[in-house]
Amino acid sequence: MTLPALHNTGVLYRRILSQFPQDISLAFAYGSGVFKQHGTSQGQMEKNMLDFVFAVDDPVTWHTMNLLQNRKHYSILKLLGPTMISSIQNEHGASVYYNTLVPVDGRIIKYGVISTESLIDDLTHWKTMYVAGRLHKPVKMLVQGENGKLRAALVANLKSAVTASFLMLPESFTEEDLFLQIAGLSYAGDFRMVIGEDKSKVANIVQDNIQHFRILYSNILRDCPQVVYKPQQGKLEVDKSPEGQFTQLMALPRTLQQRITKLVDPPGKNRDVEEILLQVAQDPDCGAVVQQGLWKTVSYSSKKMMKMWKGWRRKPSVSQMS
């Protein structure tokens, strides 16, 4: 299954992409500069920064080429060379290196670079959910190569978002309820939703983009044996029995399962994951436990990225980790 592209790639995006090294396994644009959000006019949208993520097979080679083409995009870190930049990318924050406030073709852009391997790991296991969370929401897919593992991981990430959301929703709910829950997964525990950002951000993302969410998730919902999906009515019913919830818990990404088990299992008891998840499945507060596990995952990566951002913000540069 190929992750659907929501629109034909416009000239603006092709022009921007043409200014970067072309050895990219996946590229997408996201955020309020790409998709209209509720309460934002077209004029405001066109002034917003355009956000990109580029996945590359060989970060050292890619940064080497990009330093030759776009040296001004980088902070003072460019003096350390591509190997050190790639090391910082892979070993700190959420395995993403960002250049931001970059003027390109009359727009201001921010772009993050992540290795294909790290992206597959995040999509599959939700180690940080930093890029995986962005891909829970509609994005403008610009480049998608033939890497079978990456394609499978993209679909697995969407299925995981649906499964986690099912566990936190009641037995019956609407499409909009589901999409709000999915869009909110990557904000659980995000410090930005406590300090400074619009608290209605998730609703604003979903409200004007219901059709885009349907494009992403309708096939998964139709094929899922855990739910009765009524697209004409926009309603769903999910299996909330202990057996159903256990099946859903066992399908969650590995990192989230581990965080849930740490929340539930007393220190020193060391029960296996399956035994603990069976206990959680029978708990009336199962959804709240999953929510706490997500909070731990997102808050951890959010704090790491904030720490990196503060460190580079003090430098006389337009580039930082973000």
Q: What are 52's two structure tokens?
A: 């990109």
The C-alpha atoms of residue 18 and residue 7 are separated, in whole angstroms, by 19
Residue 174 lies in a domain: yes
Q: Is there a domain that residue 20 lies in?
A: yes
Confidence at residue 211, expressed as pLDDT on a 0 to 100 scale? 94
| pLDDT tens figures, 186-213 | 887 544 444 445 558 889 899 989 999 9
**290 in a structural domain:** no
Confidence at residue 48, expressed as pLDDT on a 0 to 100 scale: 86
**Residue 165 confidence (pLDDT) above 70:** yes
What pLDDT is attached to residue 50?
95
User: Could you tell me the end-to-end alpha-carbon distance of the chain, in angstroms, rounded to an integer?
Assistant: 31
Gyration radius from the chain CA atoms:
20
The predicted-structure confidence for 9-67, as pLDDT tens digits, reads as follows 588 999 999 999 999 999 999 988 888 777 677 777 778 899 999 999 999 999 999 99
Mean pLDDT of the chain: 87
In a domain, 292, yes or no: no
The answer to the question of residue 32 being in a domain is yes
Strand ranges inside the chain, DSSP E: 26-30, 50-56, 96-104, 107-115, 140-144, 172-174, 227-230, 235-238
Domain count, the chain: 1
What is the distance between the alpha carbons of residues 320 and 203, in angstroms, rounded to a whole number?
29
Token pair for 189? 């525990």
**Separation of alpha carbons 26 and 81, rounded Å:** 24
The answer to whether residue 33 sits within a structural domain is yes
pLDDT at 317 over 50: no
**How many C-beta neighbours within 10 Å does residue 31 have?**
18
Query: Is residue 7, in this structure, part of any structural domain at all?
Result: no
Q: What is the rounded CA–CA span in Å between residue 54 and residue 83? A: 18
Residue 119 belongs to domain spanning: 13-238
Q: Is residue 8 in some structural domain?
A: no
